[in-house]
Structure 1
């Protein structure tokens, strides 16, 4: 008995080719309902008038099969991206809700620089403020770093946020955790017109966790909420 791969149609489930043909005639939308079959069915070979005649029909069908495979692959990538974006959005919303539960300014800073790491799936988060370290000793605590004036503009230029892959992180941004960071995202923090320049830095040990082409809209939203929260706790004047 022939195996299931090479067995004649007549030996498979008692069907003959005429049975299959008749069924196909009654179900002419089969390929519409199951487009994946186009990838495995062999197209007919058009009669050739000579050795120099090219079978364009077969070429076109094979090209369509390749295009179907490509579109299917792109569709899967878009679906994965949508799922990742939805997950990130949910995590950012949870981070914002967490800030609302802060019982003090110090508690809020701890949430942003410590508790958010697990929630946002990064390894380290720093809150960086420009100024004179000697005059700003009172704000230096876990996860908070004082940077020389102009540093943030040097890092971000005119952009509100940037994402960097395969980067060499500086200890003056991440402290001892800098040796772990392989990619990061930096976003401006606005504490009001009278406050010093500031930014939030998120670092990951994954070299491609953050990439330059990634959108930063959710990160900007998150830093916007954090900036307003700092303003409220310190009673700083708004814009």
Structure 2
């Protein structure tokens, strides 16, 4: 028993010396500090209010909220950087084709993979009843529509302002664009294209099976930039 008591006393002395030599070890350990504060409150009794302890708890709670916010900001920054790199890759891919047919075909190939969407559709309005045979071969990417279709589809027939980019879940009328794929496309990004003076508008559509990939509350800066590059490429091919 004497040896046990001696060893306990030696252990306490050693621990005390270490704490005095480096008190930050205790101060930086939240669990140890909570245990010390709790022990101090028990010694004070139930009729004494420790205002300093209350203040420490509030400061600790505020610190936790700030740390959560800091992590959220960092995560958003990384996500934005990844999105920017993604759009840059897509823009470079737009510059690769040497023919209009190859340009359109790329939309149904690696462009969808780069943008991480399940399908891409290009909607062009035309007043002509006959279709170009070249365009007919690309009907899995290209959608030919009557004048006025694009604005009506974006607004769903309502009197709403037309924005350059609209993000939403798909509508029941989406089969006019996606065809059979309308059964599984659940959200979409609509980019209205200005194809130049004297031409009817166009629309680039990104479709996703994930109903939450495109939502109205999301930012559209990167897609607006991509749409601007795409419509300038289209003007070059149509000139």
Looking at secondary structure, tell me which structure has more helix per residue: 2
TM-score (norm 2): 0.78
The runs of 5 or more residues in structure 1 that have no matched partner are 1-7
> 1:57 & 1:200 partners in 2: Cα distance?
61
Query: What is aligned with 1:3?
Result: none
> 1:204 & 1:211 partners in 2: Cα distance?
11
Q: What pairs with 1:117-156 in structure 2 (closer than 5 Å)?
A: 117-132=112-127, 134-136=129-131, 138=133, 139-140=135-136, 141=138, 142-154=140-152, 155-156=154-155
- Aligned with 2:200: secondary structure? coil
Q: What pairs with 1:1-239 in structure 2 (closer than 5 Å)?
A: 11=11, 15-24=14-23, 27=24, 37-38=29-30, 41-42=33-34, 44=37, 45=40, 51=47, 54-132=49-127, 134-136=129-131, 138=133, 139-140=135-136, 141=138, 142-154=140-152, 155-156=154-155, 157-165=161-169, 170-235=174-239
- Pick which of 159-168 and 187-196 moved more: 159-168
> 2:44 & 2:208 partners in 1: Cα distance?
61
Report the structure number with the largest CA radius of gyration. Answer: 2
> 1:178 & 1:132 partners in 2: Cα distance?
25
Q: Confirm or deny: 8 A CA contact 1:168 1:182 kept in the other structure.
A: no
1:178-202 CA distance string (max 9 Å, x none) = 2221221111112101211111111
Using CA pairs below 8 Å that are at least 6 residues apart, which structure has the higher relative contact order? Answer: 2
Cα distance, 1:19 vs. partner? 2.4
- Aligned with 2:199: secondary structure? coil
Cα distance, 1:114 vs. partner? 2.9
> 1:133 & 1:55 partners in 2: Cα distance?
83
- Aligned with 1:221: secondary structure? helix
Do the aligned partners of residues 50 and 195 (structure 1) sit closer, same or farther apart at CA in structure 2, a change above 3 Å counting? Answer: same
Do the aligned partners of residues 183 and 21 (structure 1) sit closer, same or farther apart at CA in structure 2, a change above 3 Å counting? Answer: farther
- Aligned with 2:33: secondary structure? coil
- Pick which of 165-174 and 125-134 moved more: 165-174
The runs of 5 or more residues in structure 2 that have no matched partner are 1-7, 156-160
1:7-44 CA distance string (max 9 Å, x none) = x89759x84134213311xx59x86xx6xx44763163
